């Protein structure tokens, strides 16, 4: 199983899904750059989320709030006070650890330093805030400290009134956002699973108190279904309910959607009943009324919030892990990414069977026509079998080949990545046929 991660990291590097960031300078710990295929895949994940969460519905509005926010936001949210990890230093070797990851109580002199092995060298735990801090304006003092947002959610809460009034929404309604967030994690890892810079896909749904449990159940189901819709295997997904010791103090209920990665069952997305905590805090700290007035019942109340918080990078990792397959074709080992066609970075590859008889010219014309509709890759170099394998590894669902029959009847073959089946199709009907295949996938 762990072997799968090594293979995947290697495939991602080799094929241009994911590179270590600033690699020519030796990399920068737990930061990653998305290469050509990775950028396309990630954009498709985001597009699938936007489509499901906003375009197909009439009750959720999109938002794109800035990364840099007023520092008071993080006082109101509780991040300045509570978004901390307890850290312990080793006085001997100068290494630093999260207190909860030590083999014992750091204040017990028998607890050894996990790095140098000395005993009695650990300091008592000290709280360390996980927000990246910077300074706005030319003066670096306390008054100019701002933070890189550690979550996108607060951008939604502070815009609740703006969105409600300008988009004329009535409760229940939601606000959805995709954007970068930053956490100065002490122990990031597992490739793109936990990184210091990451992208979130969050939706906050504002409901009437008392209807929160109904909506919580609704969103649990909807979000679980979304992972099935983008092709993730059901048996690799499960819910994990937060017990009393895991639940945030303001939360009424919380479920994680987990995926079984090679490194264990891990959180993909959290669905949280956050009660009226967030809007109450922002009302208190900003002095601005964030109550809702219900026209029909003549009631005033602070809405409850049901949050669905997903990670874009870890959804992408899930898609890659879940799609990775090895099989055998014509006696040779084949690696393929069986990505959902809607997420596949390249939809169609176009090949001339051989580099003569006008086949490259015809194939290039087909590629150029298809580009108006899909992402297309044209390839004429090497044996046809090798070109198919390269596309299998890139997750390309359909390969179109121009062969000698094309010269006679203006048809080409369409070959499926997963089944290796082929059908012949008129060139003039190709765009329509591929669109049909994508729509029914």
Distance in angstroms (rounded) separating the CA atoms of residues 351 and 251 = 55
Distance in angstroms (rounded) separating the CA atoms of residues 131 and 182 = 7
Q: Name the minimum Å distance from CB 253 to a second copy.
A: 27
Q: Name the minimum Å distance from CB 40 to a second copy.
A: 6
Q: Is 56 in the site for a second copy (CB under 8 A)?
A: yes
Q: Is 134 in the site for a second copy (CB under 8 A)?
A: yes
Q: Apex CA 88: angle with CA 86 and CA 89, to 5°?
A: 150
Q: 162 or 436, CB closer to a second copy?
A: 162
HSE, CB side, 13 Å, CA atoms: give it for residue 281.
19
Q: Name the minimum Å distance from CB 61 to a second copy.
A: 4
- Which residues, 175 to 204, sit near a second copy by CB under 8 A? 180, 182, 184, 186, 196-197
Among 52, 65, 399, 438, binds a second copy (CB under 8 A): 65
Q: Is 136 in the site for a second copy (CB under 8 A)?
A: yes
Q: Is 296 in the site for a second copy (CB under 8 A)?
A: no
Q: 261 or 378, CB closer to a second copy?
A: 378
> Do the Cβ atoms of 373 and 367 come closer than 8 Å?
no
Nearest to 41 by CA among 199, 149, 177, 190: 199
Q: Name the minimum Å distance from CB 132 to a second copy.
A: 5
Q: Is 311 in the site for a second copy (CB under 8 A)?
A: no
- Which residues, 70 to 129, sit near a second copy by CB under 8 A? 70, 72-73, 87, 96, 128
Q: Is 431 in the site for a second copy (CB under 8 A)?
A: no
Q: 19 or 218, CB closer to a second copy?
A: 19
Q: Name the minimum Å distance from CB 392 to a second copy.
A: 16
Q: Name the minimum Å distance from CB 393 to a second copy.
A: 11
Q: Name the minimum Å distance from CB 374 to a second copy.
A: 8
Q: Is 43 in the site for a second copy (CB under 8 A)?
A: yes
Q: 317 or 376, CB closer to a second copy?
A: 376
Q: Is 55 in the site for a second copy (CB under 8 A)?
A: yes
**DSSP character for 67?**
S
Nearest to 177 by CA among 35, 41, 268, 67: 67
- Which residues, 239 to 268, sit near a second copy by CB under 8 A? none
Q: Is 13 in the site for a second copy (CB under 8 A)?
A: yes
- Which residues, 21 to 40, sit near a second copy by CB under 8 A? 21-29, 31-36, 38-40
Phi then psi dihedrals of residue 218, to 5 deg: -60, -50
CB-neighbour burial class of residue 39 (10 A; exposed 0-12, middle 13-18, buried 19+):
middle
Among 6, 7, 10, 68, binds a second copy (CB under 8 A): 68
Binding mask 149-168 for a second copy (x = CB under 8 A): ------x--xx-xxx--xx-
Among 208, 220, 371, 433, binds a second copy (CB under 8 A): 371
Binding part of the chain for a second copy, among 137-145, 205-213, 214-222, 326-334 by CB under 8 A, reads 137-145
Q: Is 148 in the site for a second copy (CB under 8 A)?
A: yes
Among 139, 243, 383, 440, binds a second copy (CB under 8 A): 139
Q: 5 or 156, CB closer to a second copy?
A: 156
Binding part of the chain for a second copy, among 52-60, 100-108, 258-266, 429-437 by CB under 8 A, reads 52-60
Residues contacting a second copy: total by CB under 8 A:
82
Distance in angstroms (rounded) separating the CA atoms of residues 394 and 38 = 10
Nearest to 304 by CA among 374, 250, 247: 250
Q: Residue 293's beta-bridge partner residues?
A: 300
Sequential DSSP letters for 361-396? HHHHHHHHHHTTTS-EEE--SS-HHHHHHHHHHHT-
Sequential DSSP letters for 151-199? -SHHHHHTTHHHHHHHTT--SSEEEEEEEEEE---SS-BTTTTB-SEEE
Q: Name the minimum Å distance from CB 87 to a second copy.
A: 6
> Do the Cβ atoms of 407 and 393 come closer than 8 Å?
no
Nearest to 272 by CA among 226, 219, 195: 219
The long-range contacts involving 327-330, CB below 8 angstroms and separated by at least 24 positions, are 329/420, 330/385
Q: Do the strands 348-352 and 376-378 form a parallel or antiparallel pair, or are they unpaired?
A: parallel
Binding part of the chain for a second copy, among 116-124, 333-341, 366-374, 407-415 by CB under 8 A, reads 366-374
Task: Measure CA 33 to chain center.
Answer: 14
Specify the 3-state DSSP secondary structure of 243: coil
Q: Is 436 in the site for a second copy (CB under 8 A)?
A: no
- Which residues, 273 to 292, sit near a second copy by CB under 8 A? 282, 285-286, 288, 290
């Amino acid at each position: 199983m762990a072997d799968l991660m090594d293979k995947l990291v290697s495939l991602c590097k080799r094929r241009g899904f994911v590179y270590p960031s600033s690699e020519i300078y030796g990399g920068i710990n737990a930061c990653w750059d998305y290469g050509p295929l990775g950028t396309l895949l990630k954009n498709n994940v985001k597009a699938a989320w936007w489509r499901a969460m906003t375009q197909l519905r009439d009750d959720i509005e999109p938002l794109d709030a800035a990364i840099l926010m007023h520092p008071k936001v993080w006082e109101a949210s509780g991040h300045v006070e509570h978004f901390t990890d307890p850290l312990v230093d080793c006085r001997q070797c100068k290494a630093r650890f999260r207190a909860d990851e030590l083999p014992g109580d750091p204040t017990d002199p028998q607890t050894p330093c996990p790095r140098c092995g000395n005993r009695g060298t650990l300091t008592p735990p000290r709280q360390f805030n996980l927000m990246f801090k910077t300074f706005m304006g030319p003066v670096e003092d306390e008054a100019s400290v701002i933070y890189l947002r550690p979550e996108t959610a607060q951008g939604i809460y502070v815009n609740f009134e703006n969105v409600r009034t300008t988009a004329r929404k009535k409760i229940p309604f939601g606000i959805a956002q995709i954007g970068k967030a930053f956490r100065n994690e002490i122990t990031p890892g597992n490739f793109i699973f936990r990184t210091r810079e990451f992208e979130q896909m969050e939706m906050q749904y504002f409901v009437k108190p008392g209807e929160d449990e109904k909506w919580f159940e609704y969103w649990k189901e909807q979000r679980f279904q979304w992972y099935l819709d983008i092709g993730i295997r059901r048996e690799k997904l499960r819910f994990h309910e937060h017990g009393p010791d895991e639940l945030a103090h303001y939360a009424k209920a919380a479920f994680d959607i987990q995926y079984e990665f090679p490194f264990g069952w891990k959180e993909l997305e959290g669905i949280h009943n956050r009660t009226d905590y967030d809007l109450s805090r922002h009302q208190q700290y900003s002095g601005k009324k964030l109550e809702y007035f219900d026209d029909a019942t003549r009631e005033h109340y602070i809405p409850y919030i049901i949050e669905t918080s997903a990670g874009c990078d870890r959804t992408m990792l899930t898609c890659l892990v879940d799609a990775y397959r090895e099989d055998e074709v014509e006696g040779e080992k084949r690696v393929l990414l069986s990505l959902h066609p809607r997420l596949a970075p390249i939809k169609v590859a176009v090949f001339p069977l051989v580099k003569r008889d006008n086949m490259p010219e015809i194939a290039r014309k087909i590629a150029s026509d298809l580009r108006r509709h899909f992402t297309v890759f044209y390839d004429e170099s090497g044996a046809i079998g090798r070109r198919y394998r390269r596309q299998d590894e890139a997750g390309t669902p359909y390969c179109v080949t121009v062969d000698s029959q094309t010269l006679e009847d203006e048809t080409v073959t369409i070959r499926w990545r997963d089944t290796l089946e082929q059908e012949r199709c008129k060139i003039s009907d190709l765009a329509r046929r591929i669109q049909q295949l994508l729509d029914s996938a």
